[in-house]
Amino acid sequence: MPTWPSTKAGTTNLDAGTDKPSLARADLKQNVDNVNDIIDMIYIPSTPSNNQILKYNSTNSRFELASDTDTGITDVVQDTTPQLGGNLDVNGNSIVSASNGNIAITPNGTGSIVLDGQNWPQADGTADQVLKTNGSGQLSWTTVSAGASTLDGLTDVTITGTPSTGQLLYYNGATSQWVNQTVSYLTAVGSDTSPTLGGNLTVSGYKIISASNGNVEIEPNGTGDVYLTADTIRVGDSNADATITTNGTGDLILNTNSGSSSGSITIADGSNGNITVSPNGTGKTKISAINYNEGALYDLGTTGGTVAPDVANGNVQKITLNSALTINAFTNPVAGQSLTLIIYGGTSYTSITSTMKFAGGIKTLTATSGCIDILSVYYDGTNYFASLGKGFA
């Protein structure tokens, strides 16, 4: 039985020109034996034709000339029992079926379908069962408990009476229950008779107005005040005169910094009430471009003795003496006050008793019947300075 040669001849005695063929006899014989073995392993009885191949015949133990009839498959579908030799990479493509056919994946024996690490059940479940996972990659069928068929079948829901259209469920924290309630929603702010803001009211360019000539009232509760946080406050309506007044008999007081370290202007309530301008501390009242109009002359009446005029009643006052006059100070004096006192003395009461500083020390009234004297007084906060004009007839 021919075999493929496995022993190579040596070339030691054939490498140089001085070698003798007699010494290379064994190597030459080995090469001849090898060639004969190759000839015995390859059987070509005639001239080969196109596309013939050498095919090993185990019966004759040699390669023989044969036609190439074993061409393999040209399409995967020709392999009726295909097996993968490695992972199947879809390379962005899909595994699809034709003619609405199913795609069946059937593991052998007790094998499972594993999709992305999840082991699917090996058999179908019963009707209405659902899949659940054990959290470790194993899926199985399970039956879902029936549960409640109505809302009040739930343990945390209490339905009172027969629910009506539009009712809502509200959670009661005290009972840990959801309870049905009828809720009325506002369709307009006017429907809320006691509205309370839950945040700042932004008018966004609009106004707060009234209807039918009604007033707009802002009324704090109790001792609360109204704060207008702006550097300019405007009052008045379409160029009409504006009025700022009190609600009731209280005085109107204007001051700064909530009255702390501030002077004030007080408009007293009531008939013939005074308007008092009171600077703070050593502050002064400064009036520029004043147009002074004293108005009515204040009459001290017919009197005598000690008199202390109140400049708050007016800067020009008169008195008709029925006894000697004593005048030392003003009532409620304020530095900077001045007073003009017109004196009707007659002939009986001609002397003035006073601690004021008189110009020239003159304190004697005119003794002529029907004459009038005028006393002018200025208070600087410490001293009263007086000047007597006499004999107006």
Residue-wise pLDDT for 187-235, tens only, equals 777 788 888 888 998 989 998 899 998 998 888 999 998 888 888 988 8
Q: In what order do the strands lie in the sheet with 157-158?
A: 157-158, 177-181, 168-172
> Length of the chain, please?
393
Model confidence band, residue 70 (pLDDT cutoffs 50, 70, 90): low
The DSSP string of 196-226 is --SS----TT-----STT-------STT---
pLDDT on residue 293: 47
Residue-wise pLDDT for 316-364, tens only, equals 999 999 999 999 999 999 999 999 999 998 777 888 999 999 999 999 9
In order of 383, 385, 390, the CA distances from 356 in angstroms are: 7, 6, 17
Question: What six digits make up the tokens of 365?
Answer: 């009234």
String of b and e for 273-290 (b: at least 16 CB within 10 Å)? eeeeeeeeeeeeeeeeee
pLDDT on residue 389: 92
Lowest-confidence range among 24-28, 33-37, 227-231, 349-353? Answer: 24-28
